[in-house]
Each structure stands twice: as structure tokens, then as C-alpha cells.
Amino acid sequence: MKLNFTLVAFLLIPILGFSQIPYTISPLYSGGTHVATKKISLNSDKILNKLYIEDNSVGGDYPDSRIFAEFKNLNNQGTVSQRFNVADDGYLEIGYLGSQYGQGTALQSVYANFSTIQARGGSKGLILRADSPYGGSDVGIIKFLTGYTYSTYSAEERMRIDAYGNVGIGTTYPVSKLHLSNGNVQLDNGDVFVRDFNRGIILKSPGSNCWRITISDYGDFIKTYVSCPN
């Protein structure tokens, strides 16, 4: 009887125009709830967003119950994407490109087997934003991770932008606009330009004294004792 009622309700969707009366999409013998009005709620009787899925899962099982939705293209020369449009202003596309994408062309070496986040179709660009609700908080951080560490089952953090806009490479606690740790800076073709002539390069001596090196109008180096930066 429940199955028949569900079938009738499903057939009435175009006629009712997604009326506000909730109806069951399909019978769930596990006891889960599927509700639809002008919105669809899966495994919950909460009707919040256009599509709302709720579960209580730690994951790590197979298939992994942390995955709430999956999109798969069986052709490895193709792609699979989600697209978000607003009118005709442009769109955001999040996707993955198959191992044989652009086969035999330059596209394959550039894109194949890569995940992408793209602002397209007239979009002005891409914003990465992490909110920090109050000063001094440890949130509002953007992390960049690569590789894999077997001891922690995670990728290594290579760079971060903290809540104050400081960029750290090789450190998780950047204390300046650009903070590099355990690495070198290499310029293959370019210059380092210090616009403010009162500024220069600060060097730390073996005795932990710091000196700023600037230059005079005659090209002579000038050293000035300064407090060591934090």
C-alpha cells in the first residue's frame, strides 16, 4: 500500500507543482525519511534548503559513508563537474578531468588527472575566503597541502594564509607578511626592489645583533643597528 501511495504521489508532482504538502519519495525500509515539498530532504524530516541531506557517520567504512553525493563519468576522456550559475553573469565550476582528457593534445599534459576549481563564463575571478569572527582567533586560515604522510594519514601543509593575512611557507605560524622557514628563495630572472630608501635588508650577526643594510646616493652601503624583527 505504501509503495502504491508513493507511486501516485510521484506521478502527481508535475500536476501539483511541488505543493507544500510533504509526500514520501520512496519507501525506506531502514526507517529513514525522505520528504519533498518545494524542497527535498533526505534522511531527515527537516526541510531547510532546496536539497538537504542529513546523516550521522564517522566514515572509514566501505563504501565510505562520509560521501553524501557522488558524480561519476565512466569515460576517462571526459570530465565530471558541478556548475553554479547566477543569471548570465558567469559561473563557478568544480570538477575532475579524466586520465585521457585531451588525448594526444597539449590539453592532456596540462589537465588530465587533475581536479579543478574554475571561475568561468564572464566571472571576474575567484575568491578564497575563510571567516575569522573575532581578532586573535585561530580560525580564518587557508591551508595549502600536498603530498602524503603515512604516519598521520594526511597531506603535508606547505603554505598557509592566516587570519591576519600573513603568508607562511614551511611554517604554520607566520609572523610577517611573508614568512619562509627551512628553505631558500631563488630568482632565475628578476630583481628584488626595495622602493623605500629608508628600508633595506636586515642581517643578523652571530652575536644576535641585527643590522639594516641600505645604500647611499653614491652607491655606498650603509649599516644601521636595529632591533631584530620578531
Q: For the chain of 230 residues, list the mean pLDDT of each consecutive stretch of 10.
A: 45 44 52 72 81 86 89 96 94 97 96 96 93 72 91 89 93 94 93 94 96 96 94
d(CA 181, CA 1): 68
pLDDT for the residue numbered 5: 43
Are 19 and 47 in the same domain? yes
Q: Which has the closest alpha carbon to 129: 146, 137, 141?
A: 141
pLDDT for the residue numbered 31: 57
Are 132 and 182 in the same domain? yes
Are 182 and 134 in the same domain? yes
Are 19 and 48 in the same domain? yes
Give residue 223's identity as a one-letter amino acid code.
Answer: K
Are 147 and 172 in the same domain? yes
- E-strand spans in 123-199? 142-149, 154-161, 167-169, 178-180
**pTM (whole model) above 0.85:** no
Q: Please check whether residue 71 lies inside any domain of the structure.
A: no
Give CA torsion, residues 75, 50, 141, 134, to 10 deg. 180
Q: Please check whether residue 58 lies inside any domain of the structure.
A: no
d(CA 40, CA 73): 25
- Judge whether 204 and 210 are in contact, CB under 8 Å: yes
Q: Please check whether residue 69 lies inside any domain of the structure.
A: no
Given 64, 92, 120, the domain boundary residue is 120
d(CA 201, CA 208): 16
Q: Please check whether residue 86 lies inside any domain of the structure.
A: yes
Domain total in the chain: 4
Q: Please check whether residue 68 lies inside any domain of the structure.
A: no
Are 137 and 93 in the same domain? no
Q: In terms of residue numbers, what domain contains 96?
A: 79-120
- Judge whether 183 and 194 are in contact, CB under 8 Å: no
pLDDT for the residue numbered 11: 44
Are 159 and 196 in the same domain? no
Q: Please check whether residue 66 lies inside any domain of the structure.
A: no
CA 158 to chain centre: 14
pLDDT for the residue numbered 18: 42
pLDDT for the residue numbered 28: 54
Are 163 and 133 in the same domain? yes
Q: Please check whether residue 62 lies inside any domain of the structure.
A: no
